[in-house]
Structure 1
Amino acid sequence: MKELHALFLEHPTISTDTRKITENCLFFALKGPNFNGNAFAQEALNKGAAYAIIDQEEFKTSDRLLLVDDVLATLQQLSTYHRNHSKAKVISLTGSNGKTTTKELINAVISKKYKTIATKGNLNNHIGVPLTLLSIKEDTEMAIVEMGANHKKEIESLCSIAQPDFGYITNFGKAHLEGFGSIEGVIQGKSELYDYLKANDKYIFLNADDDVQKEKLSTYTKKMGFSTSDHQYYNIKFSGVHPYVSLEVEGTQIHTQLVGKYNFPNCCAAILMGKYFNVPLEDIKSAIEVYQPQNNRSQILSKNGFDIVLDAYNANPTSMKAALENFSLMKSKRKTLIIGDMFELGNTAAEEHQAIADFAKELDFDDAYLVGENFYGTNTTLKKLKSFDELKEHLLKNPLEKGALLIKGSRGMALERALDLL
């Protein structure tokens, strides 16, 4: 590993895709259900990679093809070795909703004072976490590492790779129930981050208004929390959504460009860490006020007379309910809803989709479209369409009336395509 790390320091760019080879990179020949990276190793060298790491002897045709027992395990071990070789402190975060937005906000705040790197996009799994750690540079002081999971023991594994110094859990929601089995399974799985931090005497940040977090950490002393009411913790006041979240901290008003009350704790987490790491409050304020969400995450758009909340990056019952509730509070003469199926809910899918259909009906929007096989199976008087193609066909014949529009669904639904139908 020492030799491989020395090689990595000479060639500090990693590639796992021959379509994205850069000159003098290291190519890791990962395997998947439908591909074998070993078969592309020579092509990687031909395209400019300095070395390729492989794990099948029959593909070793030159000295620049480095044979290891397991390419994925080697990538993970190298990232841990590099993380420990650097002086950077690692902040890890997980949770059911809001991970990526919270990570971006933390990075915006912390980078006001420190040299930081952070997970790109949502590269937060067993491959993404190592790649994030390997992006730590010699002068990096803080690495903000997002961790995703859809089953138990996954966060535990990612913690053993990243070895975080600090950690934060955004929330425990009804996400990936197919893998976790239940909300209790979600709590247990996400709390593996707490388990690691506590076992290694590391520091924990928490939302002290979340009863589960508060209870789990009641006897742990190396912690700092935020709360809207409990004065044992750092107090941050919610000032409202107009239509963006506003809050008050130490008498200072912060006006964000984030829609939805569900983004309030995400901002609080970034403020809390800014305080802990001695970032001046005026810098915390400016970092949060200039941050704009990207990639279909609670984006506010205007198009052809529509005021659109585009939240089509992902969805689960908890985030869907929060989005509907927030949309119902927005001021507009007319409100239309386009929501799509929520994936990975296992045997709770029918029940959870029915609950969302009932909730949407109860909020009484001017118009509502439920899209996807699961929503089509619900018992509701709202408009149901089996697929996006059916939605497209319907809207081309029956154009939407202008006003406010919420678009939300799981990634696989790709509901951002609805923008082209306005």
Structure 2
Amino acid sequence: MSLYRWDDARVRAALEPLLGGEPDAPDAGDRVYTGISTDSRSVAPGELFVALVGDRFDGHAFVGRAVAGGAAGVVVSRSPTGGALVGEGGVLEYRVADTLEALGALAAYRRSAAEAPVIAITGSSGKTTTKDFTAAALSAAFSTHATTGNRNNRVGVPLTLFAMPTDAEAAVLELGTNEPGEIAALAAMTAPDLAVVVTVGDAHIEKLGDLEGVLAEKLSLLRAQPAVAARPIVGDRPAILAERAREIRKDVRVAGTSHLADSDLRARNVRHTPNGGTLFTWRDLEVRLRIPGRHAVTDALIALTVAEAMDVEPAAAVRKLESVQPGAMRSELRSMGEIELVVDCYNASPQSLEAALDLLHQRSRIRAPRSSVAFLGTMLELGAKSPALHRAALKGALDRGIDLIVATGEFADAARALEANSGRVILADDWSDAYPALRERLQGDEIILLKASRGVALEGVIPLLATDFSGADAEEAGPADTEAGYNRGGGI
């Protein structure tokens, strides 16, 4: 595997509209960089360091550390060392007004040099699973590069492009957003050959406003596709997604489980297995997923549609995606003694909560007569509509007949507003305060859903359950694995 060769000429070509002046060093024209980094803690010798500025950090404060770590060049909007870096030890300085914009320009330049087709995937939920399914399906015929971890925003997408091997035959990129215009910027950067929107819902509406704002933001990915590009693909729910997508591209393809899906992209005979798998029939093929839940079926169908568009033999694509495992804290089934956990607390929105409650219901039916418990934490970034959305979501959970609901954070406020039956609801402002009351109510054979936004850290319940019900040491059990990473604030 070889990575793209960055030299001074290519860096200057990528940054040409942004540069405030030429780098001043005797060997500038001969400079070759070993890579591009945004993290001074892990910069490797010979890399180009881009000093990003965020709400809680400023990369310019760490330029010295990056140079000490071996950085051979720096992209900055000011020189924290008063210009001492230029020419000193051969370090080159590229001065721009906005280093985040410069990072995007470097990424766009890398994309323009790639021959591999790019598949760009976005959605309010399900995009990571769809990305994983798509990368697996394409790997049946192509050397495939894909997003890792939560690298889906204006920092993470460039890092994904920089990591793409020169011999990659396909690239599957996950695009997220939490503010208007971010998808359009990422689409311009990645120039997708095929665009996918998995679904839309009330997620991150603090900045996107409402469902209409989410629709406009997500569908900007389709607007960025050239008219001659492959037919875009969307999921079948909600119905308005396909309706609005067809206003942009009449030839859009719709995949899913409902009557809204194209007949040849529709799943039949969906069923769920005791061990957490999901089975369905697609055309004449039987598909066996290791990921539980009906929502995973739509994600898999989208991946198979992408593979078909790229001439991958369907049976080979099916075999590959059948190997995909749930990601950490994404519809992940765990056992704590006789308790079954549905760990789905990587992120949360009203739409993804509904899917998680569907999964809890499915598991309860399969494992009957076990009791069902929904341990709920705040859905973040819902703005002024947050109280109403939490009340509606909690009412929906109560109406499903779940045996016990642990309502924490804004769900506790919602329960008080709804005057929820205290016999079925445990209230607490924080999950750690709720756990002792839950422990007293558990028999040790329940099915428990953990659902909250990432910032709530609800996975902290897992080692407590392990200690109390499986005899494992809390430190040994640990929370679900997560990627800390540098890419803060990944979008939806």
TM-score band by shorter chain is over 0.9
| Letter matched to residue 317 of structure 2 | I
User: In 2 relative to 1, CA 397–250 (structure 1 residues): closer, same or farther, beyond 3 Å?
Assistant: closer
Q: Which residue in 2 is equivalent to 1:284?
A: 317
Which moved further from structure 2: 98-107 or 59-68? 59-68
Which moved further from structure 2: 124-133 or 202-211? 202-211
Instruction: Tell me, yes or no, if structure 1 residue 111 matches structure 2 residue 139.
Output: yes
Q: Which residue in 2 is equivalent to 1:135?
A: 163
Instruction: Tell me, yes or no, if structure 1 residue 73 matches structure 2 residue 112.
Output: no
Aligned residue for 1:376, secondary structure, equals helix
Counting only pairs closer than 5 Å after superposition, residues 2-401 of structure 1 correspond to structure 2 as: 2-4=9-11, 10-59=32-81, 60-62=83-85, 63=87, 64-69=91-96, 70-197=98-225, 201=229, 203-207=231-235, 211-218=239-246, 220=249, 223-226=252-255, 228=257, 229=259, 233-242=264-273, 243-330=276-363, 331-332=366-367, 333-378=370-415, 379=418, 380-381=420-421, 382-395=425-438, 401=444
Please state how far the C-alpha of 1:193 moved relative to its aligned partner.
0.8
CA contact (8 A) 2:194 2:229 kept: no
Question: How many angstroms apart in 2 are the aligned matches of 1:370 and 1:326?
Answer: 18
Percent identity, aligned pairs only, is: 28
Question: How many angstroms apart in 1 are the aligned matches of 2:459 and 2:203?
Answer: 21
CA RMSD of aligned residues (A): 2.4
Please state how far the C-alpha of 1:395 moved relative to its aligned partner.
4.3
User: In 2 relative to 1, CA 2–167 (structure 1 residues): closer, same or farther, beyond 3 Å?
Assistant: farther
| Letter matched to residue 311 of structure 1 | D
Q: Which residue in 1 is equivalent to 2:458?
A: 415
Aligned residue for 1:324, secondary structure, equals helix
User: In 2 relative to 1, CA 28–349 (structure 1 residues): closer, same or farther, beyond 3 Å?
Assistant: same
Question: How many angstroms apart in 2 are the aligned matches of 1:388 and 1:397?
Answer: 15
Question: How many angstroms apart in 2 are the aligned matches of 1:202 and 1:160?
Answer: 17
| Letter matched to residue 10 of structure 2 | E
Q: Which has the higher contact order (CA 8 A, sep 6+)?
A: 2
User: In 2 relative to 1, CA 83–387 (structure 1 residues): closer, same or farther, beyond 3 Å?
Assistant: same
Aligned residue for 1:364, secondary structure, equals coil
Instruction: Tell me, yes or no, if structure 1 residue 404 matches structure 2 residue 447.
Output: yes
Aligned residue for 2:188, secondary structure, equals helix
Which moved further from structure 2: 14-23 or 185-194? 14-23
Q: State the Cα deviation string for residues 372-403 of structure 1 (Å, max 9, x = none).
A: 14433432221111002212343466656322
| Letter matched to residue 327 of structure 2 | Q
Question: How many angstroms apart in 2 are the aligned matches of 1:32 and 1:157?
Answer: 18
Question: How many angstroms apart in 2 are the aligned matches of 1:125 and 1:370?
Answer: 31
- Structure 2: 5+ residue runs without aligned partners? 1-7, 14-28, 466-492
Question: How many angstroms apart in 2 are the aligned matches of 1:395 and 1:235?
Answer: 41
Question: How many angstroms apart in 2 are the aligned matches of 1:405 and 1:161?
Answer: 42
Aligned residue for 2:225, secondary structure, equals helix
Which moved further from structure 2: 71-80 or 25-34? 25-34
Q: State the Cα deviation string for residues 39-74 of structure 1 (Å, max 9, x = none).
A: 211211212223222221343322314132132221
User: In 2 relative to 1, CA 53–215 (structure 1 residues): closer, same or farther, beyond 3 Å?
Assistant: same
| Letter matched to residue 381 of structure 2 | E
CA contact (8 A) 1:307 1:403 kept: yes
Aligned residue for 1:297, secondary structure, equals coil
Question: How many angstroms apart in 1 are the aligned matches of 2:74 and 2:374?
Answer: 49
Please state how far the C-alpha of 1:296 moved relative to its aligned partner.
0.6
Which moved further from structure 2: 178-187 or 42-51? 42-51
Q: State the Cα deviation string for residues 180-224 of structure 1 (Å, max 9, x = none).
A: 111111111111111212567553123356532332344635544
Give the TM-score normalised by structure 2.
0.80
